[in-house]
Chain A
């Protein structure tokens, strides 16, 4: 139980284009989803927290107009990187918590490697 999928697993896009990443909870309802970013040799850094049906809460320093998060259902959240630039190249990973597992536990997807050329 508590499986989270993420799509795509990797993507290459041109500078100036937008990229959408999907995060799905496959066997439980995710009332809260989290989006993280990881730069090389650094830790997972929380970007934003989203609750189903509500606007996402962004961490300090994360541009909400650049990283659009939608959590329209209890099984799907999307992260759209708008007008991507090379400095947005990173590893993006989502997690979900909700009706499965231990209270407060977050279950992670496998991540998406984004390369902006």
Chain B
């Protein structure tokens, strides 16, 4: 059973603060790493798919990096806004299966 850890479990920041969180996963048999944003009562929204060691992806104020050799990915949010409040899930992919972490719950206060 693959162990995927996300930290911190929850985070409260003020509007305008930048923040980051971590996803750790086994580096063996790695295929890809997915990040999702999940707002309450909505569908998880795909943010990034990363495959190569050293990959960096960016979408607006959100960016992510990937280290497949040591088995971690960072997600950064620059200048957090209240609408960024959500749970952020990471999921390494093995064959066609996603293995999810428990997520980081972010709350951004105005």
Q: What is A's interface to B at a CB cutoff of 8 Å? A: 2, 4, 32, 34, 36, 41-46, 49, 93, 97, 101-102, 104-111
Contacts and interface: CB of A to CB of B under 8 A. Distances in A.
Interface residues of B, number: 21
Given A43-B103, A44-B100, A104 B44 contact: no
Interface string B87-106: 00101010011111111000
Contacts of A34: 97-98
A105 B97 contact: no
Interface of B: 4, 32, 34, 36, 41-44, 46, 49, 89, 91, 93, 96-103
Majority secondary structure of chain A interface residues (helix, strand, loop or mixed): loop
A32 to B, nearest CB: 7
Contacts of A32: 96
A101 B102 contact: no
A101 B46 contact: yes
B46 A105 contact: yes
Contacts of B32: 104
Nearest to A32: B96
Contact of A106 (B4, B42, B98): B98
